[in-house]
Structure 1
């Protein structure tokens, strides 16, 4: 699913976006420790479902 379609598929309401410095480590933590479902992941962005909510992880390159 492309980014525009994914954005349109999100429910209205509060969204959580987290900036992370190590995307691979955060993805592994969410999956392995929190048992979250990784919806999509690449080197700069990930969408994660945890406890019925969607969290978006963004690489903080600065």
Structure 2
């Protein structure tokens, strides 16, 4: 997981050409960035919570 330093968006690295990273968000958005950093603890949790909420609203929650 990596943070796009320009936008603050967090994504999974799917490719790197030596300059640009290709990132994929939990909602399947894909984008490239040349400015990135490690995500903070909060930034790592936000997509996980969003995915858990999405699953619970679709009746797949484990509660």
Higher strand share: 1
Same fold (TM over 0.5): no
The TM-score bracket by the shorter chain reads under 0.3
TM-score, normalization by structure 2:
0.28
TM-score, normalization by structure 1:
0.28
Structure number, greater radius of gyration = 2
Higher relative contact order (CA 8 A, sep 6+): 1
